[in-house]
Amino acid sequence: MLSLTLKHLRYFDALARHTHFGRAAESCGISQPALSVQIKELEGMLGSPLVERSARHIRLTSLGEAFLERARQILVQVGELNDLVRSATGPLAGQLRLGIIPTVAPYLLPQVMTALAARMPGLDLYPRETVTKSLIADLLDSQLDAAIVALPISEPALQEFALFDEDFLLVRPKTEADKPVPSPEKLQEMRLLLLEEGHCFRDQALSFCEVSTARPRYLMEGSSLSTLVQMVGAGMGLTLIPEMALPLETRVAQVSVARFPPPGPARRIGMVWRKTNPLAEKLMEVAAIVRQVGMDMHDKARHASSSPLAQG
């Protein structure tokens, strides 16, 4: 009978994710030789190799691929058993792995952490900031408990909880403050500064401007909203930012901000988690706290933007 342990499964899962013994060992908090010993021990129990080793990375064998699928199913179920116990023992406490997209994280996350610490003092929040595609993959693999993203996600395995809606604002050089707000058709002829590919905010902005990726000569890319706003201040073009980013990103930049006439571009921010997660009811409580924080921030941003904005 095989003497498999959850430790074997977790270490093999980490190796499959990172395709590198050193990085996998680091993610597990152990040494590379220790990880290698555990994988060899696992392969010895199975009587067949799970990985093909090379100097730079590893590749799973056919057995390794099949074993990984079953191993991850077991790890998900074990995680849900732990969550089931947590869901029955009073207020939500312990580790909560929360993903959040980069165009929300700098503005919402600090206030969310403060609010959760006050309302759920036993909660230990572990945030992860990355693009939507990675967050959804980690949710489905039980590497995250929940994520704050732009809706809709339309993933059947995930529950969506709407938090708040926010407008996109036009950011231009300060010298253009008195000019009319351009229509989407006019924006197609201007130099747009947008986030790199992979950000859903980029896709939403392109959709509003009706610009396809087939017209790259009008586009310039930045790695963050902060970079884009500073580029606008330097006279390199114009950009769109979500309303919640306004107070932080425009406080020192030499830019003007304008609101589009209705119906202007907007997005809906929400929180998602696996429908099978036993913590679903308690995650609803977390989402309600996040919603209140987001709505308070939205009201403050709207108040701050009301006087300096050029109305279209």
Residue 135 domain-assigned (yes or no):
yes
305 shares a domain with 252? yes
Helix (H, G, I), strand (E, B) or coil at 44: helix
Of 59, 85, 111, which residue constitutes the final position of a domain? Answer: 85
* Percent of the chain clearing pLDDT 90 (strictly above): 29
Looking from the CA of 263 toward its CB, the CA atoms found within 13 Å total 3
Same structural domain, 156 and 232 = yes
Domain of 224, in residue numbers: 92-312
Q: 75-84, 128-137, 151-160: lowest mean pLDDT where?
A: 75-84
Instruction: Check residue 53 and give its pLDDT.
Output: 84
Is there a single domain that holds both residue 143 and residue 274? yes
185 shares its domain with 54:
no
310: pLDDT confidence band, cut at 50, 70 and 90? very low
Same domain, 58 and 74: yes
Helix ranges (DSSP H) in 179-279: 184-187, 200-209, 225-233, 246-249
Q: Looking at the structure, do residues 287 and 201 belong to the same domain, yes or no?
A: yes
Task: Catalogue the E-assigned strands of the chain.
Answer: 51-53, 58-60, 94-100, 123-129, 146-151, 158-173, 192-195, 219-222, 239-242, 255-259, 266-274, 310-311
pLDDT given for residue 312 in this prediction: 41
Confidence bin at 196 (pLDDT 50/70/90): confident
Whether residue 202 lies inside any domain: the answer is yes
43 and 187 both lie in a single domain: no
pTM of the model: 0.72
Say yes or no: 239 and 127 in one domain: yes
Half-sphere exposure of 17 (CA within 13 A, CB side): 19
Does the residue 51 lie in any domain?
Answer: yes
**Has residue 1 been placed in a domain?**
no
In this structure, are 125 and 151 located in the same domain? yes
- Specify whether 69 is located in the same domain as 21: yes
Average model confidence (pLDDT) for the chain? Answer: 84
pLDDT at residue 109 in the model: 94
Query: Which pLDDT belongs to residue 311?
Result: 39
Nearest to 157 by CA among 241, 210, 80: 80
Is the bond preceding residue 262 a cis peptide, omega within 30 degrees?
no
Of 284 and 212, the structure prediction assigns the larger pLDDT to 284
| Cβ-proximal residues to 93 (8 Å cutoff; 6+ apart), any chain | 86, 120, 122, 123, 124
My answer on whether 12 and 54 are in the same domain is yes
Residue 164 shares a structural domain with residue 302:
yes
pLDDT digits (tens, 9 = 90+) for 203-255: 887 777 766 544 444 566 777 888 889 989 988 888 999 999 988 888 878 89
Name the least confident of 44-58, 74-88, 244-258, 279-293.
74-88
Split into its structural domains, the chain has a count of 2
Answer with the one of 85, 112, 134 that is the final residue of a domain.
85
The domain spanning residue 42 has which CATH number? Answer: 1.10.10.10
> Which range among 177-186, 212-221, 274-283 shows the weakest confidence by mean pLDDT?
212-221
Number of CB atoms found within 10 A of residue 206's CB: 17
Give the domain CATH number at 209: 3.40.190.290
- Residues of the chain with pLDDT > 70: what percent? 89
